Structure 1
Amino acid sequence: MDEIETDKQPVLSKLTALSHAGRLDIFRLLVTAGGEGLNAGEIAVALELRPNTLSQHLTMLSAAHLIRPQREGRNIRYFAEIPAMGELLGFLMQDCCGRSPDICQKALETLKIHK
């Protein structure tokens, strides 16, 4: 694998994780939850997912660094990794508008995510 392909690997990992409807729903739910995050049980109820299915999805999203688990006693709370989402969007848009950012400045400003 050449250097360029290696640089793309984290992006491909994130896109792969988000390419499943269930994982995309989980990620969007956690983005909506913001800094409060949600525990696995809350996610399962909100999205009507079985525990084993939810566990597989959470594992893949965590491996792609799109979500972060935090143990709270017997429970695990999950949080969306907003900076990772910003990096992904930035990568996808870095060459937008024929490298004329003035053309798509409003879209770029809308997507600006602060770490």
Structure 2
Amino acid sequence: MDKRSALSALAALGQDTRLEVFRLLVRAGTEGVPAGEVASRLNTMQNTMSAHLKILNRAGLVRAERDGRTVRYVADMTGFRDLLAFLMEDCCNGEPKLCRPVIQAITCDC
């Protein structure tokens, strides 16, 4: 990930509703959540939610998957991992043991 992409992802997550959307989709896992249900769960109008989802999609943090007539949104864990890797690229000044607690905290079997 380059600096420009990282800034886009951080800006996308720097807004309250979009951060909540991303966290909701992370919790949902690979099943994702239909677009209308995302809006309902977060008590947001559908057209507003659509704009938020578009921003997250452009930032590489979510992706849309067609499921028949429904559009289902899923957290893009590759994009998220790329962001975390970018943020930690120069971590710990050559002492990986200092980073170990952070890496353990964010490691999952997903």
How does the TM-score come out when normalised to structure 1? 0.86
The match for 1:25 is 20
Instruction: Give the C-alpha shift of residue 94 in structure 1.
Output: 2.0
Other structure's SS at 1:79 match: strand
Aligned residues between the structures:
110
Unaligned runs of 5+ in 2: none
- The residue aligned with 1:47 is 42
Q: Which has the larger radius of gyration?
A: 1
- Counterparts of 1:11-90 in structure 2, within 5 Å, are 11-90=6-85
Letter in 1 for 2:15: H
For 2:99, the equivalent position in structure 1 comes to 104
- The structural deviation recorded for 1:41 is 1.4
Provide the rounded CA distance (Å) in 1 between the counterparts of 2:14 and 2:78.
19
Deviates more, 1:95-104 or 1:57-66: 95-104
Q: What letter matches 1:65 in structure 2?
A: G
Superposition RMSD in Å: 1.8
The one-letter amino acid paired with 2:8 is: S
- AA aligned to 1:107 is V
The alignment-based identity, stated in percent, is: 44
